[in-house]
Amino acid sequence: VEASIPEPQREAWTKHQVSGFKDKDEFESEVVRHVETTLARSMFNCDESAAYSAASLAFRDRLILEWNRTQQRQTFADSKRVYYLSLEFLMGRALDNAMLNIGLKDVAKSGLSELGFRIEDIIEQEHDAALGNGGLGRLAACFLDSLASLNYPAWGYGLRYRYGIFKQEIIDGYQVEVPDYWLDFNPWEFPRHDVTVDIQFYGYVHKVQDESGRFVSRWEGGETVKAVAYDVPIPGYDTPSTNNLRLWSSKAASGEFDFQKFNNGEYESSVADQQRAETISAVLYPNDNLERGKELRLKQQYFWVAASLYDIVRRFKKSKRAWREFPDQVAIQLNDTHPTLAIVELQRILVDLEGLEWDEAWNIVTATFGYTNHTVLPEALEKWPVGLFQHLLPRHLQIIYDINLFFLQSVERKFPGDRDLLRRVSIIEESQPKMVRMAFLAIVGSHKVNGVAELHSDLIKTTIFKDFVNIFGVDKFTNVTNGITPRRWLHQANPRLSALIKSKVGSLDFLKDLTLLNKIELSINDKEFRREWADIKYSNKVRLAKHIKESTGVSVDPSALFDVQVKRIHEYKRQQLNIFGVIHRYLTLKAQSPEERKKAQPRVTIFGGKAAPGYWMAKQIIHLINTVGNVVNNDKDIGDLLKVVFLEDYNVSKAEIITPASDISEHISTAGTEASGTSNMKFVLNGGLIIGTCDGANIEITREIGENNIFLFGNLAEDVEDLRHSHTYGNHQIDPDLAKVFEEIEKGTFGNPHDFASLISAVRDHGDYYLVSDDFRSYIETHALVDEAYKNQEEWITKSITSVARMGFFSSDRCINEYAEGIWNIEPLKTQTKDGTGKDE
Ligand code: 475
């Protein structure tokens, strides 16, 4: 760096080199400076919100200095970078995370206290960055934390939605969606008004001859929208490495509004153009595990992918390397099929703009990309009408046709005459209307395809992508079981547990190598340790009970068994099975004498999660949970034996309160439907046990922690197809206890039965696709085992400690290292080396 400053000015620059605050005093002075200057507030008029803003700005300043140095190190080292393309980054709050990762939370705590604030209250001021729906988006956020913590040169690319996932309110037991305007004041982003890309849509393609007589395609006409970069620094834990998350925001290409039009008096039209451009990055689509084929969604995808690739290619071209070296410098990971257009866009750049031959370009493209699949649900697999493509991205459609042609020719060479195979694997589905199958395009354009848990990766190889295994060979398909960052999900969410573990491990090193957790198993008989372990769980439950009281008005007893199911509401995740089970429990208690009831294990069943606004069944499930809660919670016979609550607006910061407070959590998807799940890992890491089906990562969790420490139930994935078949073609007998639950709902015990008719008929009359009835008996019986087990508190604590000790595998650090080695072929950068390059000496 210094070498690039001319000698006469160098002294002045280096003399004034900035460094962030280092101690409490400097922190306080930064806070006061930001209050008085950046925020233009008087220090005599500083409320908690201003204190939050100023503290965040003080930390942001520090982050951006480290960010600068990290980027310089990466540029000097000139080694391969990975780019993680995701339409969703569910980041949650940033301040607490930044303080902990940098290691200055104690400094901030005493500094804020001297200025008159409690750090907890300041942290609470922050609005979640909720640019995601659920598992897929949160996984991307955990990956960014691990990439920075492990010193990988990595960037995330996403969209800067003006509105994140909606805020959920529960009104009269129904979900009501309220817009989440989160950008009012966001100290964590840096607008880069100098980093912009013009993005083209619509128009037409024509062929022209270049100087050498070669025919090349030109994409012209249409409209242009400007992409503006906003950078979010991502601090690693206990390392100076600070990576970048670049989010694109859309703007009218003409700037504020079209001056030509404006001067001609076409005011409305010039403003309308501006609004149309800004619409592209305005909202996050609120669907989880569902794609609905809307034009604006495809526009979002191309806008984001084209801006990101332009940026990546621009960076590569600065190095003046030959194009064939591109895959040695760049790895791009596609988080699901949402960014699949990047494959087509890179091929377009190389062939149309850079003049490479098709095959040479295609080899570069496929060596660059990796594709992660997150779901086998058919309704979630992306398909776009060919006509829509033709209209919006005419040149891309041509390229897709060519990719498909060469691909099908290679299939024909390998399996001559198999017409049905060609039809099955074609990127173009010959339906009415014709569709582009994005997952097939992603497979053909990548060098690796991975699933997110062992069962899931096996399932994609034997079902939805079976033909592609035959075509490309099995080695192209691999598994990387998901993980979670222990920084946020243990150290930040459960500081007391983290401190207790530290006292046994000897340091906080387990936050960097989670397998060190196994050391706590040595203390399994340590009375004091066990008492403290139980006490931490109890106080986390007290904190949640307080939150429940404040948000729902329901009083719950912290010594009851806390049973939690928090995740997006979806039929395949089976919150309906849970609430039917709760009704069964209620009816059982009601039928008992007061004497018998005294033997019952008191329970609090806690639900949370959003339903996609257009998902009728999911909304009915939320309504049923609330009406059941209403009846049960006010039944004098039942008292504290059973409480049912629905926590509104489940998000990352609520998860940080809920996860450490569970005794048991529910991961009860129909076997073969949940790709992995990641909250299952978070709950176990926080000392909660789980009840679950043999699905997703539950299977690997069981393998790690031992089957005595988990409550598994239900049918296996291999039997699901036959069971569904028998529902349709046999006479479908539903479980008698479930039938009683239905009877009670239909009697009107929980409000107007008409409201819940569709929930019942899905099971009774429409084939019970999710096997609610088939699994009901085993679910109820397993819950009885949970009650019994909980009564033996000593045994329970042993299970809890043992499970945590064996969770080392599920760190997202392990997961990122597997991607780095098996898919990206990248290495971490040293943060300090003699020659300053960051490369090994
Ligand atoms: C799986 N979301 C979890 C998690 O791998 C898994 C978003 C937009 C449009 C369509 N779908 C989505 C998902 O598909 C999704 O969140 N998938 C989830 O990915 C991380 O742990 O089992 O359901």
**What HEC string does 512-572 produce?**
CCHHHHHHHHHHCCCHHHHHHHHHHHHHHHHHHHHHHHHHHCCCCCCCCEEEEEECCCCHH
Q: How far is residue 17's CA from residue 659's CA, in Å, rounded to a whole number?
A: 43
C-alpha distances (whole Å) from 716 to each of 304, 720, 835 are 40, 7, 57
The rounded Å distance from CA 472 to ligand 1 centre is 25
Lowest mean pLDDT among 250-259, 733-742, 824-833: 250-259
Mean pLDDT to the nearest integer, 18-37: 94
The rounded Å distance from CA 450 to ligand 1 centre is 14
> Which positions ≥6 away from 110 have C-beta within 8 Å?
24
Mutate to test the pocket of ligand 1, among 289, 292, 449 (most ligand atoms within 8 A of CB): 289
**SS3 readout for 808-821:** HHHEHHHHHHHHHH
> b/e per residue, 641-659, with b = 16+ CB within 10 A?
bbbbbbbbbbbbbbbbebb
Q: How far is residue 722's CA from residue 475's CA, in Å, rounded to a whole number?
A: 30
Q: How far is residue 587's CA from residue 281's CA, in Å, rounded to a whole number?
A: 49
Residue at 315: amino acid letter: R
DSSP state of 197: E
* Band of residue 839 on the pLDDT scale cut at 50, 70, 90: low
**SS3 readout for 275-318:** HHHHHCCCECCCCCCCCCCCHHHHHHHHHHHHHHHHHHHHHHHH
- Predicted confidence (pLDDT) per residue in 558-588, tens digit: 999 999 999 999 999 999 999 999 999 999 9
Specify the ligand 1 atom closest to the Cα of 452.
5
With DSSP H G I counted as helix, E B as strand and the rest as coil, what are the percentages for the chain, rounded to 5? 55, 15, 30
Lowest mean pLDDT among 31-45, 439-453, 697-711: 31-45
- Predicted confidence (pLDDT) per residue in 486-520, tens digit: 999 999 999 999 999 999 999 999 999 999 999 99
User: Is the CA virtual torsion 805, 142, 82, 333 positive or negative?
Assistant: positive
Mean pLDDT to the nearest integer, 95-102: 98
- Predicted confidence (pLDDT) per residue in 375-431, tens digit: 999 999 999 999 999 999 999 999 999 999 999 999 999 999 999 999 999 999 999
Q: How far is residue 296's CA from residue 284's CA, in Å, rounded to a whole number?
A: 11
Total length of the chain: 841
Mean pLDDT to the nearest integer, 770-786: 98
Which pLDDT score is estimated for 3?
60
Ligand 1 pocket, CB under 6 A:
133-136, 139, 287-291, 374-375, 380, 452, 482, 674-678, 696
What are 605's two structure tokens?
Answer: 């069943």
DSSP string, 570-591: -GGGTHHHHHHHHHHHHHHHHH
Question: How high is the mean pLDDT of the chain?
Answer: 96
DSSP state of 671: T
Which residue has the CA at smallest separation from atom 21 of ligand 1?
Answer: 677
The rounded Å distance from CA 480 to ligand 1 centre is 15
Which residue has the CA at smallest separation from atom 15 of ligand 1?
Answer: 136
User: Is the CA virtual torsion 107, 110, 115, 117 positive or negative?
Assistant: positive
Residues annotated as catalytic (active site), given as ranges? 374, 567-568, 573, 678, 682
Mean pLDDT to the nearest integer, 810-815: 98
| Strand residues in 753-836 grouped as ranges (E) | none
Is residue 835 predicted with pLDDT exceeding 70?
no
Specify the ligand 1 atom closest to the Cα of 290.
10
The rounded Å distance from CA 384 to ligand 1 centre is 19
| C-alpha count within 13 angstroms, C-beta hemisphere, residue 687 | 26
The rounded Å distance from CA 695 to ligand 1 centre is 14
Q: Would you tell me how many other CB atoms lie within 10 Å of the CB of residue 418?
A: 14
Looking at per-residue pLDDT, the higher value among 840 and 135 belongs to 135
Specify the ligand 1 atom closest to the Cα of 133.
7
Which pLDDT score is estimated for 260?
79
Mean pLDDT to the nearest integer, 295-314: 98
Which pLDDT score is estimated for 311?
98
> Which positions ≥6 away from 542 have C-beta within 8 Å?
558
In 115-239, which residue ranges form alpha helices assigned H by DSSP? 119-124, 135-149
CB of 339 closer than 8 Å to CB of 445: no
Query: Does the interface predicted TM-score (ipTM) exceed 0.95?
Result: yes
- Predicted confidence (pLDDT) per residue in 458-473, tens digit: 999 999 999 999 999 9
CB of 429 closer than 8 Å to CB of 437: yes
Specify the ligand 1 atom closest to the Cα of 568.
16
What are 667's two structure tokens?
Answer: 């991961």
CB of 132 closer than 8 Å to CB of 89: yes
